[in-house]
Amino acid sequence: MKEATLKQAGKVLEVIGETPCEQLQKILSSGLLSDLLSANVDLVDRDVVRQALGLKPIGMHSYLMTIDYDRSVKDGIKAGNYDWRNDDITAKNFPSQETGTAEVSIDILHFGKDISTDEVRAELDKHGYRPATLKELLALGEKHSNLQREFPIIALGSVWQGPHGYRSCPYLYRDGSERCLGLGWVGSWWRGSCRFAAVRK
């Protein structure tokens, strides 16, 4: 086994130096640091550990919002003021049983790699999430209108099977400087740049 290098030791000291003294003392007293240094890190799922510690998964941002589920899809699209939208995104194609108004935290998760829909669903479920729905996506697009200029945001909680049998879900993205509301094929792989809107179960 190789000895730790001075560069590695310096990095550890850097992290320690950024930790408040009281927090550092609690960590040392708890024995968690000793556990971590003794662990087989190759077998550890970091996000599971973070969840156990009450921390958010890596690559996640949260947006607390008030969502009116009684608002129509048409009105939600209009309120989002999109430059372009897919005409198949309608209440008929995306019927909803959601009603009332609720405070909802929409979390945007990033997996940092090309990923299939089944893998995304499995990861969301593992961390206690469900995919966001169309109405939740529309509310996000309205309130945080520039977010989709940074990355595509997919809502796997609402799926429509078109006339040719393909299953699609709504997503927000940009085309140049334009904000768009489109449909993505659920059977495809999602690029590593994509983010996924999710809500705690």
Question: Residue 116 has what pLDDT?
Answer: 96
Name which of 66, 179, 76, 189 is nearest 134 in CA terms: 76
Backbone dihedral angles phi then psi of residue 198, each to the nearest 5 degrees: -145, 160
Residue 55 has pLDDT above 70, yes or no: no
Question: Residue 25 has what pLDDT?
Answer: 78
The mean predicted confidence, pLDDT, of the chain is 87
What is the three-class DSSP state of 197?
A: strand
Q: How confident is the model at residue 71 (pLDDT cuts 50, 70, 90)?
A: very high
Amino acid at 162: G
Q: How confident is the model at residue 35 (pLDDT cuts 50, 70, 90)?
A: confident
Residue pLDDT, tens place only, 149-178: 999 999 999 999 999 899 999 999 999 999
Residue 78 has pLDDT above 90, yes or no: yes
Between the alpha carbon of residue 165 and those of residues 43, 46, 108, 181, 185, the distances in Å are: 40, 38, 29, 21, 11
Taking a C-beta distance cutoff of 8 angstroms, is the pair 91, 150 a contact? no
Residue 66 has pLDDT above 60, yes or no: yes
Percent of the chain with pLDDT over 90: 65
Residue pLDDT, tens place only, 115-152: 999 999 999 999 899 999 999 999 999 999 999 999 99
